[in-house]
Amino acid sequence: MNPKKILKKFSPGWLLSAYHFFLAYAAAALYGFPSKKMAMIGVTGTKGKTTTANFVWAALTGAGFKTGLVGTANVRIGEKEEMNKYHMTMPGPLVMQKIFSDMVKAGCTHCVFETTSEGIVKWRHKGIAYDFAIFTNLTPEHLPSHGGSFENYKAAKGKMFVELMKSARKTITGKELKKTTIINSDSPHKEYFLSFPADKRITYGLGETSDFKAQDISTTPDGVSFDIKGEDYTLRVIGEFNVMNALPAIIAAKEFGATREAIQKGFDALTLIPGRMEKISLGQPYTLFVDYAHEKESMTAVLKTAQAITRNTGGKIIVLLGAEGGGRDKAKRPIMGELAGKMADHVICSNVDPYEDEPLPIAEDIAVAAEAAGKIRELDLFVILDRRTGIRKALELAQPNDVVLITGKGAEQSIVIGGVASPWDDREVVREELSLILKKT
């Protein structure tokens, strides 16, 4: 066990909390409080944060604003992009504040970044001057980090909204910013997030009460189109669920004065969100996606998308999935297993990030549920702990017109097994294994 883990194990909770609180402000001060020099747009919720943040980045970029992004999958400084190598959505405050500082030095006037409940627990939202707060949705996830309580989890998310009004209002690119919340009004928790003070509260969704309601949603061969307040938009990424991720981006961009044409220009340029229904094609006769789905709602969404693709082709759905160890939420494992067992034709249970836990019990929690849903081991249900071998199996099972879903890690740049982090990228491993298979055919 390394010294950091020893310190964490034996230090009282209040001392660790105080340390994280002090570090957040010290990091911001060290780098000259860079968030005070940009329009800061925080995105929180259980799922959709990464896609929403990338849509916000695209819409603002299309409108001519040099924009930064920090998220689970990627970090952007203007047009420059790199994958998030920190295995954390919100890196430690020293890293976060340095990234913000680099954005300012590069001329960014706007920044969109994911704010997680786990990051908030460690005070990583402190020292950040928020201007916009976006809420996507809320479902049970990461509960062990919040004492097993959904209410604690919700309250942690709420702290980002509390932070919104604590910093001074800014003038960015000649525009005085109003403290604004953008809330998913289809969520049963909307009233809670609408209750926080703000200069403006704007809602979005598919329901009649939304300020910005998406209508006439239709799937295109390469994405999805929809209408909002008489304006038509087209996304170049697949999945109808992405409409809900794009709505807050449209709202935020419009609040900064962007036109429909500028926003669409940004959307047209965004054809790929790393590890989010990322299509891998090397000429194989079936459809292959890498996706981050790792809980009930996101797994349901990707499986429904796969069903829509195979509905007219008669193809089958092959899914590889897993779950995290290290004290992460165990309750989601059988739920995902049941979903995969019911909605996919072939299920492969493999490692995601077991951390220091034994990998087999994690995979078995999923496999047993898939088995109860009708899957038969070694026929259409497989437990293959080695992720590369599991991916290879999924690809070997695929036939023309099938859909293969490699889920759980998306564009993450490492995998943690036995407490040891090793370089990893599902997308690269998939390409490597697919190339080998295609060479043999």
User: Which CATH number does the domain housing residue 36 bear?
Assistant: 3.40.1190.10
Whole-number average pLDDT of the chain: 93
pLDDT at residue 1, as a whole number: 47
Report the run of H or E that residue 416 belongs to, with start and end.
strand 414-417
Token output for 281? 């094609």
Q: Are residues 208 and 283 in the same domain?
A: no
Q: Are residues 157 and 298 in the same domain?
A: no
Q: Are residues 96 and 165 in the same domain?
A: yes
Mark which of 269, 292, 311 sits at the end of a domain. Answer: 269
In the three-class reduction of DSSP (H, G, I as helix; E, B as strand; rest coil), residue 271 is classed as coil
Q: Are residues 262 and 282 in the same domain?
A: no
Q: Are residues 212 and 315 in the same domain?
A: no
Q: Assess whether pLDDT exceeds 80 at residue 95.
A: yes
Q: Are residues 226 and 147 in the same domain?
A: yes
Q: Are residues 253 and 289 in the same domain?
A: no
Mark which of 269, 295, 329 sits at the end of a domain. Answer: 269
Q: Are residues 212 and 116 in the same domain?
A: yes
State the total domains in the chain: 2
Q: Are residues 73 and 103 in the same domain?
A: yes
The CATH number of residue 377's host domain is 3.90.190.20
Mark which of 222, 241, 269 sits at the end of a domain. Answer: 269
46 residue type, one letter: T
Q: Assess whether pLDDT exceeds 70 at residue 71.
A: yes
Pair 384, 298: CB distance under 8 Å: no
Task: Give the separation between CA 166 and CA 170, rounded to whole angstroms.
Answer: 12
pLDDT at residue 87, as a whole number: 85
In the three-class reduction of DSSP (H, G, I as helix; E, B as strand; rest coil), residue 6 is classed as helix
pLDDT at residue 70, as a whole number: 97
Quote the strand ranges of 270-408, DSSP E. Answer: 278-279, 287-291, 317-321, 346-349, 381-383, 403-407
What percent of the chain is modeled with pLDDT above 90? 84
**Please, which pLDDT band fits residue 221 given cuts at 50, 70 and 90?**
confident
Q: Are residues 73 and 218 in the same domain?
A: yes
Q: Are residues 253 and 315 in the same domain?
A: no
Pair 379, 303: CB distance under 8 Å: no
What is the DSSP secondary structure assignment for residue 199, as one 8-state letter? S
pLDDT at residue 13, as a whole number: 73
Q: Are residues 348 and 243 in the same domain?
A: no
pLDDT at residue 6, as a whole number: 55
Task: Give the separation between CA 275 and CA 411, rounded to whole angstroms.
Answer: 4
Query: Which range, 16-20, 142-146, 330-334, is most confident?
Result: 330-334
Each residue of 19-38: pLDDT tens digit? 989 999 999 999 999 999 99
Residue 433 belongs to domain spanning: 278-440
Pair 310, 317: CB distance under 8 Å: yes
Report the run of H or E that residue 81 belongs to, with start and end.
strand 80-83
Q: Assess whether pLDDT exceeds 50 at residue 3.
A: no
In the three-class reduction of DSSP (H, G, I as helix; E, B as strand; rest coil), residue 192 is classed as helix
What is the DSSP secondary structure assignment for residue 417, as one 8-state letter? E
Each residue of 228-272: pLDDT tens digit? 999 999 999 988 999 999 999 999 999 999 999 999 999 999 999
Each residue of 331-388: pLDDT tens digit? 899 999 999 999 999 999 999 999 999 999 999 999 999 999 999 999 999 999 999 9
Q: Assess whether pLDDT exceeds 70 at residue 140.
A: no
Pick the range with the lowest mean pLDDT from 41-45, 102-106, 217-221: 217-221
Mean pLDDT of 153-179: 95
Pair 345, 317: CB distance under 8 Å: yes
pTM of the model: 0.90
